[in-house]
Every structure is written in structure tokens, then in C-alpha cells.
């Protein structure tokens, strides 16, 4: 807040200076004097040096404050790559920005109007044109190439041994399903979604693979092992955002998405690194998905692989907790619907 106020005050001072200068110029003209080219030029020329220096000083003052609010070092393998890419790009762009703007402001100052000075003229300079076309083109091409390389690594096929976790977004919560002992998620169908009965995922329990699936209130992940998020949405667009892993992928209704990555630091390691015993990894929703959007937060706990295996083995399956769903699936639903339709037809016929 104080930063904003200081910025406003600085802007206001500049405006006041400008107005004073204008008034003085107008008074001179009103008095019948010559248009005071000399003074206005000098003031403008000086401002061409002062303004960029003031702005740069503001940037230099604010940068460390902004840096304090930066995310800590990435906790995933690909996160380090994206961070490097970001900093290389920012460095190149900032350098170019500084050089070109220094040139612009310096020229405006240096070559301000002076009586008797003549502008020199040249038509064109092929060597210069070639230079400032090729140099930026090569730099841009390199940046794009490294970005493309990183992106195709991140979005490539997940490793075979990756452990799968399903994340489903709905208004307004994340729900997480693990594949259980067989490491394979059971199939699902939106027609089987039944919040009242408790099958929020719409799991098809006729599928044998679904029998050992379990849901989790906190997402446990093993350190140093590839993880594959299978992401879907039940109603509207949501977005899985886990900033500490530099991970973001939309959850789209009707179009499952995925993201694979390798966590590199346990929650405990992060806590001691950040000196913050309260620290937790989390998933937040970054799609403004409705009134309860702010509540879409899910805790991730990264642990050592042994601890993860222990936790995984201890989780009760969904069917153990909800035995009424055993064997219930699509064909069961079809039978029920058929029976309902038949009953309705019978009723109709009886009433005729």
C-alpha cells in the first residue's frame, strides 16, 4: 500500500512541475514575448534524463520487495527447468529493454533543438538493417526453441512406472481417487454419479479394477518418483494449480487432461527450508468457476517413498466403506431404467 502511495506522490509532483512550466510559458506568450522555445526545450530535455532515472530507481526499490513474495525454488524436476527458462527470458528481455530505452531517452536529450544545428540525413544503411533484423531473430528463435523443448518434455508420454492419481473438480471441491493395489483406476460414467448415495465420482463397480480404488482427503505423493495426474471436471471448467511444483492444467468437463511430474522435496524438507512449520503444498483452483471458487483447495503431502507405501497400504477401499455399491454399475443402471420405463408404460396402458 505504501508503495502505491509513494508512486502516486511521485506522479503528482511530476504533473505539478509540468503545469507550473505550462503556466510560465503561457504568461510569457500573453505578455507578448517570443515563444520560449529555449526554456521549454531545456526542461523537456532534462526530463528525458530525469524521468527514466526516477522510474528505474522505483523499479530498483520495489524489486527486492517483489522478490520476497516470489514462490520458493521449484519442488519438481520440470519446475526447475521452467524457472530457468523464465529467468533467461526475463534477463534477455530486460537487457534489450534497458538498452533500447536508454538509447531513446539519451537521443531525445542529446539532440534536443539547438539554434543553428542541422540534422544529418542518410537514406538507409543495409548493414545496419541486416544487423538489427538478424540479431533479434536469432535470439527469439533460440528462446522459442528452448521453450518448445521444455514444453514437449513436460507434456510427453508419462513414464510407465508413474503412479496414477485421479483429480476431479466439481463445484466446489477437489476429489481425489487412487487406483489401489492393482495400480489401475476403475472406469467411470457420468450417469453413475449419485451424490445422495455417495458415488460422487460415478465409479462403475462392475469394473473389477474399481474394486480396490480408494478416495483420499489429503493427497500423498512419494518424493523422487513420477506421478501422473488424471484430471477431469464434473460440471464447469476448473484448473489444477500446484504452484510449488510449477504445475497447472485445466480440468475440462467431458475432456480428461493429464500432467506428469516428479516431486523433489518432501513437505518436511520444505518446512525446514522455508523455516515455516505451517507450510503445506496445495492445489488451488485457478478457474473462476463460481461462487465457492475460493474454497477449492486441496492439501498435498509429499513423503519419502517408504512412508508413502505404508500410507497407501493402510487406506481402506471405497467399497469397504460403502459396501452397498458392490457390483453396481452401468448394466445395473440400465436394468433399473428399463424396469422404470416398463412400469411407466404399464401404468399408461392401465389408465387407457
Is 242 an interacting residue with respect to Cu ion (CB under 5 A)?
A: no
167 part of the interface to Cu ion, by CB under 5 A:
no
Nearer to Cu ion, 183 or 293 (CB): 293
Binding residue (CB under 5 A) for Cu ion from 170, 230, 234, 238: 238
Strand, coil or helix: what is 173? strand
Residues binding Cu ion: number (CB under 5 A): 4
Question: Which of 223, 203, 192, 217 minimizes the C-alpha distance to 302?
Answer: 223
What's the min distance (Å) between Cβ of 23 and Cu ion?
55
Cβ-based nearer residue to Cu ion, 215 or 283? 283
Region 52-91 residues binding Cu ion, contact defined as CB under 5 A = none
CB of 293 to Cu ion, least distance (A): 5
Q: Which is nearer to Cu ion, 83 or 200 (CB)?
A: 200
CA 125 vs CA 100, 103, 122, 136: distances in Å: 19, 18, 8, 17
Q: Select from 108-116, 136-144, 231-239, 316-324 the region that touches Cu ion (CB under 5 A).
A: 231-239
Site membership for Cu ion, residue 168 (CB under 5 A): no
Residue among 102 and 288 whose Cβ is closer to Cu ion: 288
Question: Cα angle vertex 270, ends 267, 275, to 5°?
Answer: 125
**Shortest distance, CB of residue 65 to Cu ion, whole angstroms?**
30
Residues 274-313 that bind Cu ion (CB under 5 A): 285, 289, 296
Query: Residue 47 CB, nearest distance to Cu ion (Å)?
Result: 48
Question: How far is it, in rounded angstroms, from Cα 308 to Cα 292?
Answer: 31
What CA–CA distance (Å, rounded) separates 90 from 92? 6
Alpha helices in 111-259 (DSSP H): 126-154
176 with 240: CB under 8 angstroms?
no
Strand partners, 285: 240
Q: Which is nearer to Cu ion, 238 or 328 (CB)?
A: 238
Q: Which helix (H) or strand (E) holds 232?
A: strand 227-233
Residue numbers at the binding site for Cu ion (CB under 5 A): 238, 285, 289, 296
Amino acid at each position: 500500500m505504501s508503495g502505491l502511495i509513494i508512486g502516486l506522490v511521485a506522479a503528482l509532483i511530476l504533473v505539478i512541475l509540468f503545469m507550473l512550466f505550462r503556466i510560465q510559458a503561457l504568461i510569457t506568450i500573453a505578455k507578448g514575448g517570443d515563444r520560449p522555445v529555449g526554456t521549454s526545450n531545456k526542461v523537456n530535455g532534462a526530463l528525458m534524463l530525469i524521468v527514466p532515472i526516477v522510474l528505474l530507481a522505483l523499479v530498483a526499490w520495489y524489486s527486492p520487495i517483489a522478490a520476497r513474495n516470489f514462490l520458493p525454488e521449484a519442488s519438481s524436476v520440470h519446475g526447475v527447468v521452467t524457472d530457468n527458462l523464465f529467468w533467461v527470458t526475463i534477463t534477455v528481455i530486460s537487457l534489450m529493454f534497458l538498452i533500447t530505452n536508454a538509447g531513446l531517452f539519451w537521443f531525445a536529450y542529446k539532440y534536443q533543438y539547438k539554434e543553428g544545428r542541422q540534422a544529418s540525413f542518410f537514406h538507409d544503411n543495409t548493414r545496419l538493417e541486416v544487423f538489427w533484423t538478424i540479431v533479434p531473430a536469432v535470439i527469439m528463435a533460440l528462446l522459442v526453441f528452448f521453450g518448445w523443448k521444455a514444453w514437449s518434455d513436460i507434456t510427453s508420454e508419462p513414464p510407465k512406472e508413474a503412479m496414477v492419481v485421479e483429480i476431479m473438480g466439481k463445484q466446489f471441491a477437489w476429489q481425489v481417487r487412487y487406483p489401489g493395489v492393482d495400480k489401475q483406476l476403475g472406469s467411470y460414467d457420468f450417469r453413475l454419479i449419485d451424490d445422495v448415495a455417495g458415488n460422487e465420482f460415478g465409479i462403475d463397480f462392475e469394473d473389477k479394477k474399481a474394486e480396490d480404488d480408494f478416495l483420499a482427503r489429503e493427497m500423498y505423493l512419494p518424493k523422487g518418483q513420477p506421478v501422473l495426474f488424471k484430471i477431469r471436471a464434473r460440471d464447469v471448467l476448473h484448473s489444477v494449480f500446484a504452484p510449488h511444483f510449477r504445475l497447472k492444467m485445466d480440468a475440462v468437463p467431458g475432456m480428461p487432461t493429464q500432467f506428469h511430474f516428479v516431486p523433489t522435496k518432501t513437505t518436511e524438507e520444505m518446512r525446514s527450508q522455508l523455516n515455516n512449520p505451517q507450510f503445506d503444498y496445495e492445489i488451488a483452483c485457478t478457474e473462476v468457476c463460481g461462487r465457492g471458487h475460493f474454497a477449492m483447495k486441496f492439501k498435498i503431502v509429499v513423503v519419502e517413498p517408504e512412508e508413502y507405501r505404508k500410507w497407501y497400504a493402510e487406506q481402506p477401499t471405497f467399497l469397504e466403506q460403502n459396501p452397498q455399491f458392490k457390483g453396481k454399475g452401468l448394466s445395473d443402471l440400465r436394468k433399473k431404467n428399463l424396469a422404470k420405463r416398463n412400469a411407466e408404460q404399464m401404468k399408461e396402458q392401465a389408465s387407457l
